[in-house]
Structures are given as C-alpha cells and as structure tokens.
Structure 1
C-alpha cells in the first residue's frame, strides 16, 4: 500500500515542506506558506496531520523507537540477546524514553501534536473538519503518553505547546510528574474525544491506514487492560477490569459491524493481504491498526521496511537472518489437538518435534528441512544442519549454511512475503499490523475472565475457541479445541497468556504481556534460553554427503530422513541465568532528565519519593 502523505512542520509553525508526495499539487514548494494558510485549508491541514502519523506510527514488532521497543524479542524467551535487562544490570540511565534532550523523544513528538491542535483550532476550517483532524492528533498524543506511562508510571502531562524562549518560559516548562492515575485518565480522555469525532470508516481507498473509531476503541481497550493488570493494579480493583471489559466489548462490536474480523486462515497471506477494498475498509479484516509500507526504492513516495531482509537467512541472499526463534518458543506450541506435549493424544519427541503440531508452528518456525515458500520458490526447503568436515573425526563440524549460520538452529518465517527475491528483500512492502482483531478478542477474553465471565460460551472461552479454530486446531469431541472444560480464574488466565504467546509470537507483545501481568521474574528468572543443533550422522566421509539428495529424501519420507540422517539435540544460548530486577516494572528516570528538570521526582523503586502506583 502507499504510505500516508506527510509534511514537515517547522518549529515555529511558520513554514512547511513536503517530505512525501503523491499528487502534483503536493510536490510544489510550500515553504512560503504561513501558518494561517496551512490551517485554513483542508488540503494542507491534511498534509500536516499526515506528518504526525509518520512521526508516531509504530514499525515492525511495535517499534516506537524507544529504549525497549527496539529490542523487544531479545528481552524474552522468544529470541536470544545478551542485554542489561536479562542480566539484571539495568540502571536509571538505560531507559531514556522520557527524554534527555529538546531535539528528540516522546515530548518532542507531543509538542508537534499540541502545536497542530492549537493551530487547527485557530484556523477557519468548518467545525466538523477541525474536530476530525484534531481527533486523529489526539489519538497519537494518547499513544505517546501510553508509551511513557507503561515504562515509568506517571509523567508530566503537557497538553499545550510550551514557550521555549525566555527565563520565565523555561521555568514554566519545568513541570512535575502527574500521578499515574492522572496520566491514564488523560490518555482515556484523549481517546474518548477521538472516538467521538472519528469515523467508523473513511470514504476513500487512499485513507486506508487512518485511525478509525474501531481502532481507537481497540487501543483504548489495550490501555485500560494494562491499567487493570497487576503491574498497575496490585490491589485488583475490579472497577478497572470492568471498564476495560466494556471498552473491549464495544471495540469488538464496532469493528465487527464495519467489516473487521478474524482473517479466514492463519498463514502468510494474513500479513501480505493489505490495502483497502471499499473506502478505508481493509481487504484484510484482521488489520485494525496498520502502519503501511510500499516497495518503492527510489522516489519520494518510497517507504519500505527491512523486516524480510532481517528475517530470511543470509545464504538465501539477504544481509540479515537475525530474527531467530529459540527452542523455548518452538517447544511452546501445542500439538494439533490443542493440548500440550504431555497431555496430547499425539506423541511427542525431540527427534520428530515438528510432527502433529499446532498449524501455527509451521507458519512461524522455519527448521532444518522444512518446506518454506520463500524467494519465489514454493518448493524450497531450508537446511540448517551441521556435518563433520574431516574423515574419521567427530570433533570438527561445518554448517550447511554457506554464510551467517543460525545461532539457534531455527529461523522465523512468519509474515515473510514469499514473492520477494534478490535485492527486493531489502524493500519489503508488507504492512505492520499493530493491532490485529485477534488481539481485541484476546483482550476481551482476559477482561471477561477477570470479572468472572468464565462459563463455556462466554467470551473467555468463546474468543479462545474462535482463535484456535481459525488456526486449524482440531475441535475435539467436546468442541473446545484443546481447552480444558470448566477452567477456574487462574487456569483461564494461564490459558490466555499461553495463547497470546503462540498467536502473537514475534509481534512485540510477549514482553509487555509478561510485564503488565508481573510474570517476568517467575517466567524467565533462573532460566537460560535454548537453541537446537541438527547434526548429520557421521559416515566418516568428512563431507555433506546428502547435499545432492536431501530434497528428494525429504519429499519422499521426511520422518525416515530424520531418523536415518540426523540427530537433534538442544544447546544453551545464555552463559548466565536470566535475572530480571523487580525494579524494572517501573524504570528509573534518567539522571540527565532529573538534571534538566529539578521538579521531576525519581520512582520509589529507584530510591526516590514518587509512587508509580498512585
């Protein structure tokens, strides 16, 4: 899809310059325009709000360019990474999202949004147009404050542009932190205003990707779910859960009434089907909140992403191959009857780990010998095994991967466009879906479970069943798709969290889920992440002796190939036990921020007086 047209606003909002254009008019030099000319005209105001979209839309994995969001997968058991968070060595200066300068960060983006709101209000557009433009800006202000509050707790709420010149102006800008409750209240207030004035769908295909009423409701549901969760709600105030339930239920209703729903099958087309079919109604009903990309490489409209290049193995022709699932994630998938490997009717062994698994396993994990439609080749098989490269030796091995062999033994295949080849891996146009309809169902199910709607047929069960049914899991004689009947609260919450781990693997959700439920320490601490080694059985030839026949052997009898030619064994990736700090549930305010603003207070979990639970 084409990205939304954008415009850069100068700091004083006295001139504008185009950064991405589609129409001839948009390509004109607009630098001589004044603020009144911009905000008295709907075309140039649209360019301005589109710039706000471009500044704030999350990229792949939900990356909002923050300290955490740029490395989300490596913070959990999804992917291996050596970092301060898993080591337990985080300090107050690691998480700098609150800002330590006046030129970048969340507050610079919030300032741009506040300036837009001020100037649209001062313009002469019809009232209805003003409200619709401002509604979009308010969504992104809520998004930015949510990014801050989930890291630190309450932060200073800046709702109008602050003057930047003069001692009095600088002193007035030294704002104290608002309470966490006040910050969440403001986020919800902004979203409520957005929901009131935003349409359920936009009229034109080119508006695909704009915020809709359903998307704003879904995001509000995510916000309220977080506020109700144990990280922010240790006293388990049920009013918070009830509010989150009501919002998510409304989101499901509005989205369902306007063409949104579960994509009919769980495969790569759930990601590569994008764009609009009628107005802003998506061709992919799953796509609730979307960041659009295209495959252009050299003109002013170019807006590609590097996801495929960073995911497909280097030896296929990319420079990446770094998105590598752990064995822990591979083991987490249930069997195809929806049961875990201990209770399933299907037997499980490490040697045949791929057999009879949840169909989402094959669509997420690329493993040695797997058939992976990639690089335009639907018959392609990926090989990651090691072989002995010296005759009569069992100590020296080489990888069948020519360059950049996988560290974990596995690759991520989720959402990789199979038609990309060669240099096109660098220019993927696959859209990022920040909120899928499946997440809205899962959010509603969690809230339902917390307020006691646990009966079979109510949302806690019904939504899990809908997601598992779409995934292709067997229904079973009880039509519960592998779920246990009559689960209590704790069992249902565990089932929901497990389902989120599988459904949203490598979508930037796992860390935030463990964090808000305060499960990071109990899930990860004391553990070391695991990889897998596929070893070619030694025949003392010192060669990769099946290289010319392996595809044929795999096509004929995959089970026999493995039992005859490979051993499968696990390996430890971490050299130390994961040791998350309890204090990390609310990060410390950076030293530079405290120096810049004497009115900021440090969190009490980092030696200060500010209570992030108030």
Structure 2
C-alpha cells in the first residue's frame, strides 16, 4: 500500500503556513521532486488515490525538528508518549524523560511535534476532502468513490482531533466539555486567505470538538466500505473501524448508552463475540494480534514495512525492544504493572515480555530487522472492553459485561475468568475491567487515555498524572509478583489541578496565531 516516493507532501508544520512559503522547510514545498502539486493531485483517478494514500503516510510519520522522520503522530513515538505519561512503563533513556517526568514547556520537542504533526495530518485530510469533491464534480472519479475517500479523510481527522484533546485539553467530564479544547479546522490551509481564516479562529470547547469528531465518524461509517481486500482491511479505514472509534470516543464522553449502541453494531449478543461488519473477532491466543499484525482482531493499524517504517525512530521494535535482540530499549515494563495483583502468574500475557537480567521489555513488537510491526491503533479487544465497561456502568454486575471481560481475559488465563459472585457491586466489576485494560494494552500507548478520561471519576481516578518509578529504582529485584516488594516511586504525582496535567500549546504555534496566543493553557 505504501507508495512513499509518490505521495503528496501537503502537511503544514502546524496547519498555518502557506504551502509555497519557505519558512516551514520541505513540509510546505508546493511541488517536491517526488510528489504532485496540489493543483495536479486530483486531476485523475489514479492521482486521487495516491493523495488518499498520502494521508496515511502523514499519520504514520511526520517530520521532526531538523527534518528527521519520527513516529508522529501515530507511529512508535506517539505510542510511547502515551505510555510515558502513565505509570506502567519505565523510561530508560533521556528520549522520553520530559514526557515521563512532566517537565515539558512550550518549546520541548516531543509535545510540540505531536501538535504540529497532528495538525499537519488534519490539514492534509482537509486538502483531500476538497480535492476529491472537486474531482467528482469534474467527472474524474465517481461520486461513490469521492464519498468513500472523504470517509477515510474524516476518520483520520477524527482520530487526530481526539488525540489532540487527550493531550492539550481537559477531559469531557470536566464541566461537561465546557473547557477549552482545540481549534476545529474543517478547511484546507493552503493560501493567504485560508491562513487568515485559520489565525482568526481560536479554541473551540471540548464539547464542540467531540461533536465535530462524532459528525466525522458518522459520515465515515455511512460511506466507508464494510470490508476491504487483503491487508487493506487493516491499514485503511473501514466502516467497522469508524464504529469502533466511536465506542472509544463515547466512552471518553461518559455516554454509556452511546457506547452500547455503537458497539452492538459490531459485537454479537453473546460469546463467542464476533462482528457482522468486517468479521472482527479476538484471536485465539493473547499473542495472536502481534504474531500477525493483520489479524482479524485489528480494526485499524498504521502500516509499517521494510520499505516504509518511519525510520528507526518510528519503529516499535526499535524503540521498545530489548537491546540484546536488536532494539534500543528506550522504555521497559514497570514493576508497578508487573507486580499488580490482577496480573496473575499464569497469565499468558506475561509471555509477551522478556528480561535481560535487569529489566523486562515488551515483545509485542519483534521485527528488529525490517521494523515491519504495524502500530496498533484500534483492536477488537478494546471494543469488547469498552462495551463491558459501559454495560457495567449502566447495569451494575451485568452478565454481559462479565462475559465480555471474560472473553478478553479468558484467552490469557484459562482458569481466571470471573463469575457474578466475584463482584459485590458494579464498581468492583468496573475496577476489574479497568485493570484488564492496563494489562491487555500495556506497551500500546493506551494508558494515558484512561488516566485522562478517569481523572474526575469518584472511584477510579489516579488524582492526576500518577507517581512513577525511575529506572534506577526499578531494579531486577523489584520485579516480583510473589512477594510484591514495596516500590519506590520517586517521580511524584502531578495533581489533576496542576497545569502540567496538560501539555502547553507550542510556542511556534502561538507565534503564528495571534488568536491562540491569548488562549495558552494556564500556567505556561
């Protein structure tokens, strides 16, 4: 699928620079040697298809400070940002120390380039939407093809906007979304006039951005194909992926009935759970989604392969793998999750780790040579656990919620499934589901999303960014789920009320945008 030498390079550093200017380096080059100009990109059906493929490349790897390619906004770097903001992985190298220890500023690269590459992706989706609409009007592609392409663009735009909210805005639960969110960009920034329009637009509320996200995903669900052929069913957006992402978004909005409504479209009534759309199901074993990253469990992943893997800094095996096996070992599993009482000794997911006599590394990503492990964005296991939590929030000790939880847990622990008698109240079941999420999605970048959405939950808040272990304290002796030694967490909690709970809007964005310059997150 990847045709990196023939794709568009439309992205703008923060979605505000004019394509023809030189101040934004090659991201704004109107017609690089190996790409089409915007004017010619939609002049044939083949070129329109390549433009759409270009959006996925922008999602996989964006240009980092100095022009190097990194795994932003949805490659390896962003997944590990999500881990480093939580407590279940330990930072071993300096690369993620700023994120891990919450010492970021408006100029620190990791958070700056998440903002910049996410808005670059959004701008590329907007250019594609306008381009395919014109191509259909000109008779170059069918209306059906244009709507499907637009559905892909809106799926990626929704994914990007949600990621922005998770890092730069308070959760929806804070005053029902009345807090400052991010600017909604639903137009291409590609001319002086559209730059002026962009810089006159400030931050929308969190609720407004969520409504925009759901509108995009509703459109995507309506117009995307239910199934694609071969590997494309995983690495290009589909109807099932749009529905699955809606279950995540509605979970963050605490719209429990909405989660159930959406999930029921792709989850059967009873076990074994399967989807009538896209034929999604859990793999038979816990390591199945990683032995085959194109498995029936993947609703949507960012593709990597030997020809296009976002460089060593965009590849998951390189970033998180054991150096003895060929990785860089930038992050390791924390004793906090390794010793967790819910993580049973017989859990097969313990086999997705390897130790080097000092620390434990994830082995979810194993291609150290070609770096072809896809970045997992949305798995069927998440949809099942989203639905389980929503059912438990609505119905307490719900039989269906337990069955959904057991479907995920049972493939890893043959004798570890739950019965209703195991839970005195609904919140006990919810707690078990949340523990399952931590174990199941460890090293997949999902921990921060749950910390963020649960920040104000009466029963399950971490009270902000949780305290963590530094690498020096996570010695091999601390990995012991039998004796469960007292762990030293010398990276302190950042309370929810603290300004550092959120990332700052980047300084370069504020310099370009006088409207946003007055709307920085407080404290920075």
Deviations 1:164-198 (CA, angstroms, capped at 9, x unpaired): 327x9636632122222111111111111111110
Instruction: State yes or no: 1:270 paired with 2:293.
Output: no
Give me the whole-angstrom Cα distance separating, in 1, the residues matched to 2:421 and 2:109: 40
Aligned partners of 2:90 and 2:469 also within 8 Å: no
Q: Are the structure 2 counterparts of residues 72 and 169 from structure 1 closer, same or farther at C-alpha, using a change threshold of 3 Å?
A: closer
Q: Are the structure 2 counterparts of residues 430 and 607 from structure 1 closer, same or farther at C-alpha, using a change threshold of 3 Å?
A: closer
Partner of 2:155: 139
Partner of 1:242: 257
Aligned partners of 1:473 and 1:481 also within 8 Å: no
C-alpha displacement of 1:156? 1.7
Q: Are the structure 2 counterparts of residues 77 and 274 from structure 1 closer, same or farther at C-alpha, using a change threshold of 3 Å?
A: closer
Instruction: State yes or no: 1:291 paired with 2:291.
Output: no
Matches within 5 A, 1:88-487: 89-91=103-105, 104-123=116-135, 124=139, 125-153=141-169, 154-162=181-189, 164-165=191-192, 170=196, 173-203=199-229, 208-228=234-254, 240-252=255-267, 255-267=275-287, 269-275=288-294, 284-296=295-307, 306-316=315-325, 318=326, 320-332=328-340, 334=342, 336=344, 356-361=345-350, 363-367=351-355, 384=357, 409-417=358-366, 425-452=368-395, 454-455=397-398, 457-458=399-400, 460-474=401-415, 480-481=417-418, 485-487=422-424
Tell me the TM-score normalised to structure 2 length: 0.76
Give me the whole-angstrom Cα distance separating, in 1, the residues matched to 2:415 and 2:73: 34
Partner of 1:606: 522
Aligned partners of 1:287 and 1:433 also within 8 Å: yes
Q: Are the structure 2 counterparts of residues 260 and 16 from structure 1 closer, same or farther at C-alpha, using a change threshold of 3 Å?
A: farther
Q: 2:54 aligns with which of 47, 51, 56?
A: 51
Structure (1 or 2) with the larger CA radius of gyration: 1
C-alpha displacement of 1:511? 1.6
Give me the whole-angstrom Cα distance separating, in 2, the residues matched to 1:440 and 1:327: 27
Secondary structure in structure 2 of the residue aligned to 1:255: coil
Give me the whole-angstrom Cα distance separating, in 2, the residues matched to 1:200 and 1:431: 21
Aligned partners of 2:83 and 2:448 also within 8 Å: yes
Partner of 1:516: 453
Partner of 2:89: 79
Which 10-residue stretch deviates more, 171-180 or 116-125?
A: 171-180
Aligned partners of 2:348 and 2:413 also within 8 Å: yes
Query: Greater helix share, 1 or 2?
Result: 2
C-alpha displacement of 1:16? 6.0
Partner of 1:542: none
Partner of 2:23: none
Give me the whole-angstrom Cα distance separating, in 2, the residues matched to 1:62 and 1:56: 7
Which 10-residue stretch deviates more, 481-490 or 427-436?
A: 481-490
Unmatched 5+ residue regions in structure 1?
20-29, 229-239, 276-283, 337-355, 368-382, 385-408, 536-561, 609-614
C-alpha displacement of 1:206? 5.3
Partner of 1:392: none
Deviations 1:248-273 (CA, angstroms, capped at 9, x unpaired): 22243583443210000112x43122
C-alpha displacement of 1:463? 0.7
Give me the whole-angstrom Cα distance separating, in 2, the residues matched to 1:205 and 1:92: 39
C-alpha displacement of 1:326? 1.8
Unmatched 5+ residue regions in structure 2?
11-18, 21-27, 63-69, 170-180, 269-273
Secondary structure in structure 1 of the residue aligned to 2:202: coil
Give me the whole-angstrom Cα distance separating, in 1, the residues matched to 2:197 and 2:320: 48
Which 10-residue stretch deviates more, 51-60 or 523-532?
A: 523-532
Partner of 1:35: 39
Secondary structure in structure 2 of the residue aligned to 1:80: strand
Tell me the TM-score normalised to structure 1 length: 0.66
Deviations 1:363-410 (CA, angstroms, capped at 9, x unpaired): 23324xxxxxxxxxxxxxxx51xxxxxxxxxxxxxxxxxxxxxxxx22
Give me the whole-angstrom Cα distance separating, in 1, the residues matched to 2:468 and 2:309: 46
Give me the whole-angstrom Cα distance separating, in 1, the residues matched to 2:477 and 2:435: 27
C-alpha displacement of 1:95? 8.6
Q: Are the structure 2 counterparts of residues 65 and 206 from structure 1 closer, same or farther at C-alpha, using a change threshold of 3 Å?
A: closer
Instruction: State yes or no: 1:531 paired with 2:474.
Output: yes
Q: Are the structure 2 counterparts of residues 90 and 307 from structure 1 closer, same or farther at C-alpha, using a change threshold of 3 Å?
A: closer
Count of aligned residue pairs for this structure pair: 467
Q: Are the structure 2 counterparts of residues 333 and 429 from structure 1 closer, same or farther at C-alpha, using a change threshold of 3 Å?
A: farther
Deviations 1:200-220 (CA, angstroms, capped at 9, x unpaired): 102465565211100111112
Aligned partners of 2:80 and 2:443 also within 8 Å: no
C-alpha displacement of 1:428? 2.3
Give me the whole-angstrom Cα distance separating, in 1, the residues matched to 2:500 and 2:249: 19
C-alpha displacement of 1:472? 2.9
Give me the whole-angstrom Cα distance separating, in 2, the residues matched to 1:579 and 1:523: 6
Give me the whole-angstrom Cα distance separating, in 2, the residues matched to 1:61 and 1:508: 13
Deviations 1:286-324 (CA, angstroms, capped at 9, x unpaired): 11111222234xxx89988633334443344x3523332
Q: Are the structure 2 counterparts of residues 43 and 18 from structure 1 closer, same or farther at C-alpha, using a change threshold of 3 Å?
A: farther
C-alpha displacement of 1:446? 1.2
C-alpha displacement of 1:9? 4.4
Give me the whole-angstrom Cα distance separating, in 1, the residues matched to 2:280 and 2:104: 41
Secondary structure in structure 2 of the residue aligned to 1:120: helix
C-alpha displacement of 1:328? 1.5
C-alpha displacement of 1:140? 1.1
C-alpha displacement of 1:521? 4.0
Give me the whole-angstrom Cα distance separating, in 1, the residues matched to 2:3 and 2:419: 42
C-alpha displacement of 1:100? 11
C-alpha displacement of 1:70? 4.8
